[in-house]
Amino acid sequence: MAGAREVRKRIKSVENTKQLTRTMELVATSKLKRATDRVYAARPYAGALDEIVRSLYSAELAERFPVLRRPTEMKRAAVLLLTANRGQAGAFNANLIREARHRLEELRAAGAETELHVAGRKGIQFFRFRGEPMETMRTDIGDAPTSEDAESLIGPLRDKFESGALDAVYLVSSEFRSAMSTPPRVRELLPIQPGETAASVDVFIMSPPGDHILGRLLPLYLRNAVYTSLVENAAAEQGSRRTAMKNATDNASEMLEYLTRSYNRARQAQITQEIAEIVGGAAGLE
């Protein structure tokens, strides 16, 4: 058994680590709260926009708008990956990176050229290390993403898609189901495919005509899809970090308990030995 002094040293070190992870847990918890509020605040707009686009969408219109164009063959596709700028968030970044690699491999296996766009320092570090070329690298998107961030990410890709230089754009990000469940997910951003048209087709008075409305709303729809993914991803990052740091804190507590026990035992052993020596010495004098 290690001596009492060594054990004391280790206890001190584990205590320091525990304090650190506990602080990070608290910081993540408060950031998570704000990030979750943003996710919920973004939902009414996304829902309402989706509803309107769906009620306007029809197959004939699909041929008139470049963002709805369905390419006959997939020659070149882009993957846009959202990761975090910081680590210490459990498997959060690793999951996203793995998902993006799967998608890239699938596309290549299908004979398509691929291009990779990465936001977040962690994703960039990984692909740089692997020697995988990246078309764009962004690290300027923080904890509170804005619509402008979304536009700056998707704008160039939309232009490329409209000009025919790209046949599909996929977005890899985390879905924010709850703070505990944030699975990675791949969304097909382009071509835009609105969901099924609502069963009840209401007859609207439109101003301007429906195709003009759709023409203006589609870019907003696309940007909003990216925006909601950005806020969900930010919330998922904080959720994962909180979980990871909570586990680390719990592990440190467990370890402290064990170390304290060994320390007490070592101390007890030392005292017992000293008493035995005194008793022995006294006995020798008689």
Partner 1 sequence: MAEGTLRVHVVSPEKTVFEGEASALVAPAWDGMVGILPGHAPFLALVGVGALTVDLPGGGSETFQVAGGALKVLANKVTVLTEYAGSEPPEVIPVEAILHPEDVSVSAGNP
Residue 90 in contact with residue 240, Cβ under 8 Å?
yes
**Which CB atom, from 49 or from 255, has the smaller least distance to partner 1?**
49
**Which CB atom, from 46 or from 186, has the smaller least distance to partner 1?**
46
* Chain positions contacting partner 1, by CB under 8 A: 38, 41-42, 44-46, 48-49, 51-52, 55-56, 64-65, 146-147, 202-213, 215-217, 219-220, 224, 227
CA distance 214 to 155: 18
**Which CB atom, from 204 or from 258, has the smaller least distance to partner 1?**
204
Nearest approach in angstroms of CB 159 to partner 1 is 12
Locus of tokens 């101390």:
267
Nearest approach in angstroms of CB 78 to partner 1 is 21
**Which CB atom, from 108 or from 216, has the smaller least distance to partner 1?**
216
Name the burial class of residue 125, with classes exposed (0-12), middle (13-18) and buried (19+) by CB atoms within 10 angstroms of its CB. Answer: middle
Nearest approach in angstroms of CB 87 to partner 1 is 28
Nearest approach in angstroms of CB 158 to partner 1 is 10
**Which CB atom, from 56 or from 189, has the smaller least distance to partner 1?**
56
Nearest approach in angstroms of CB 261 to partner 1 is 52
Question: Peptide bond before 133: cis, by omega within 30 degrees of 0?
Answer: no
Nearest approach in angstroms of CB 151 to partner 1 is 9
Nearest approach in angstroms of CB 55 to partner 1 is 8
Nearest to 227, CA basis, from 138, 171, 170, 146: 146
Structure tokens belonging to residue 31: 């950031």
CA distances from 207 to 204, 214, 263 (A): 9, 11, 79
**Which CB atom, from 33 or from 212, has the smaller least distance to partner 1?**
212
Name the burial class of residue 184, with classes exposed (0-12), middle (13-18) and buried (19+) by CB atoms within 10 angstroms of its CB. Answer: buried
**Which CB atom, from 95 or from 224, has the smaller least distance to partner 1?**
224
Dihedral angle of Cα 65, 67, 71, 75, to the nearest 10 degrees: 140
CA distance 17 to 133: 37
Residue 230 in contact with residue 145, Cβ under 8 Å?
yes
**Which CB atom, from 225 or from 236, has the smaller least distance to partner 1?**
225
Those residues whose C-beta lies under 8 Å from the C-beta of residue 258, and which sit 6 or more positions away, are none
Nearest approach in angstroms of CB 15 to partner 1 is 42
Beta bridge partners of 115: 78
CA distances from 104 to 78, 98, 138, 170 (A): 9, 10, 19, 10
